[in-house]
Amino acid sequence: MWSLSVFCILAIGYVSCDQKCQGSPRMYNGKRCASTTRYNDYHKGACGCGPASGDSQFGWNHDHFVTAPNQMFFDEGYSGWCGQRCGKCVKLTTTGGYVPGQGGPTPAGMSRVFMVTNLCPNVYPNQNWCNQGTGPYGNGHNDYGYVAHFDLENGASQVSNLGWNNPEVTWEIVNCHGSNTPTDGMYQQCQCAHHGKRSLNETTNGSEN
């Protein structure tokens, strides 16, 4: 007898029952979806959020909610430094889903706001997650079907303390307000503060101008 998970894979393509987002691009409750992972890094990152001398982080870039998105979210021109979305913030909301074998169940509806301070480049060992071929409003997706990926800094266990285990999320570009979210003033300390961060209209799923 076939299991329910096998039935789901046959019924809706490569989407597992553990993944709540469906379609192309993958959506949930009318919003675009993304995959997430966690990392622990003491480097200033691709937005230059650390002292000018050396490669260390500012404290807030280690223990606040910050993220390293995939290359085509970070900068659609393939820049590896001072990308167009440096200093922007994304509200990530859990769907209750996850990629089988890569995460675990997380309650749906948990939202946190993360600032972009780093890059997840399309190089080893990130290719499965960060190899999208188009920007976040296109249809290019990673190996798990998501148009965006967010690697979340967990240097002070700030993400794991939420109970997040690489959850599937929806994303929206929003203003930088939230508990443990870096402020715009903090971002002004970064070397890329005057290179990226285009203006924002806070509309459905984060329209930009």
Question: Which residues form the catalytic set?
Answer: 41, 151
38, β-bridge pairs: 152
d(CA 124, CA 112): 28
The residues near 50 (Cβ < 8 Å, ≥ 6 apart) are 43, 44, 56, 57, 58, 61, 190
Q: What is the DSSP track for 37-82?
A: EEE---B-TTTT-S-SSSSBPPTHHHHSSEEEEBHHHH-TT--SSS
User: Rounded to whole angstroms, what are the CA distances from 52 to 6, 81, 118, 119, 180?
Assistant: 52, 14, 16, 18, 24
The residues near 143 (Cβ < 8 Å, ≥ 6 apart) are 127, 128, 129, 131
